[in-house]
Amino acid sequence: MRTVVMAVAAGMLMSLAGARGLAQDFPVKPIRLIVPFPPGGLADVWARVFGQELTRAWNQPVVIDNRPGAGTTIAADIVAKAPADGYTVYFTNIGHSMSAGLYRKLPYSVQSDFSPVTIVGDVTSILAVTPSVPANTAAELIVLAKSKPGQISFASAGNGTASHLLGEYLRLRANINLVHIPYKGTAPALSDLLAGRVTMIFEPMPTMLPHVRAGKLKALGVTTAKRAAAAPEIATLAETGLPGFDVSIWYGFLVPAKTPRPLVTRLHAEFARIVNTQEMKERFAAQGAEPVANTPEQFAAIIKADIAQWSKVIKDAGVTVN
C-alpha cells in the first residue's frame, strides 16, 4: 500500500514539475486570441493592443480570431472545446456571464468550462438621450416615462446584449414602461438615436463620449457608483435618481478549463504587467476605463455573482432570445 501511495505521489510531483517546465518554455508557437465581437469595437481594439504587447514580449505572433454572434456563445463554445494548453485565449466581457441566464441550453458551462485569468478593465456606460428629450437627470427621465407609459423607447445593440439588459435593469429599478428597440449592433442603434428615431440608449463611455461632447446626445448619467475620471462632469445615475445603481462592463481573459495552473499564472503575470504600464493606464483613463488586473480567484467570484444578478434581471424582465 505504501509503495502505491509513494508511486502516486511521485507521479503527481512529476506532473507538477512537467507543468512548471511547460510554463517556463511557454510559448513556443503562435497564440490564438478569440474575440466574440466583430472588428472595430472596444473589445477588438483592446485585444489587438494586448496581442501586440504579447508578441513583443514573447516573440511569438498572437493571432486575433473574431468570432461574433449569438451573444458571445459562438466564440465561447470554441474556447470551451479547445485544447487546455495556453495557446487558445478568450477575450470577452460581462456578456459571458449574462449568457448563463439568457439561453436555456448552452453547449458549455459558463463557469466550469473556463479558467478565469484576469479582468483587465472595467468600463462605465453612459445613459444618453436625444437633446430634445425634456429630462436632464435620471429622476426627470423616470417622471417623464411615468407620464408617458410605453412612449419612451430605448435602443440596444441586440437582444440579450449588455445595452439591452441595462435598459431592462433601469425599467425594473424605476418601475417604468419602456419600449425596447433591438438593432444588429451598436452602429445602427446609435445612428437611429442620433437621428431622433429612438429616445435613449446605454453604451460604454468610449463609444458615447464623443457624441455627448459634440452636443449630439445628452448624458443623463454614468452607470458606475463613482464618476469617471475621463468625464467627471457627468453625474452618476446613483446621484441623480437611482440610489445604489452600480454596473460596470468588465473585459477580461479566460482560457479553457483544465489549463495547467502554471500556465494560467504565466498568462496572468503578463496581462497584469501590460495593464500596469503607463501607456495602458493612460489609454484606459482616456476611454473612461478603470484598470483592474485582479486574480483568477477574484475574477471567478465576479463571474459567479454576475450570473446570479443578471439571471434574476433576465427572469424578472421576461427577456428571451432567439
Mean pLDDT computed over 175-189: 92
Q: Each residue of 135-149: pLDDT tens digit?
A: 999 999 999 999 999
Q: In Å, how far are 13, 58, 262 from 20, measured between CA atoms?
A: 10, 17, 6
Average pLDDT, the chain: 91
β-strand pairing of 114-129 with 200-204: antiparallel
CB 121 within 8 A of CB 251: yes
Matching CATH topology for 18-121+250-317 and 124-222?
A: yes
| Exposed / middle / buried, residue 308 (Cβ in 10 Å: 0-12, 13-18, 19+) | exposed
Task: Answer whether residue 117 shows pLDDT above 90.
Answer: yes
Bridge partner residues of 219 (DSSP):
128
The count of C-alpha atoms lying within 13 angstroms of the C-alpha of 174, restricted to the half-sphere facing its C-beta, is 25
Lookup: cell for 126: 453612459
Q: Parse the chain into domains and list their residue ranges.
A: 18-121+250-317, 124-222
Lowest mean pLDDT across 59-63, 163-167, 225-229, 232-236: 225-229
> Which cell goes with 234?
457627468
Rounded Cα gap, residues 297 and 305, in angstroms: 12
Q: What percent of the chain has pLDDT over 70?
A: 93
| 41 pLDDT above the threshold of 90 | no
CATH topology (fold) of 18-121+250-317: D-Maltodextrin-Binding Protein; domain 2 (3.40.190)
Give the tens place of pLDDT for each residue, 198-207: 999 999 998 8
CATH of 124-222, one of 3.40.190.10, 3.90.1150.10, 3.40.50.920, 3.30.428.10: 3.40.190.10
Look at residue 177 and give its three-state secondary structure: coil
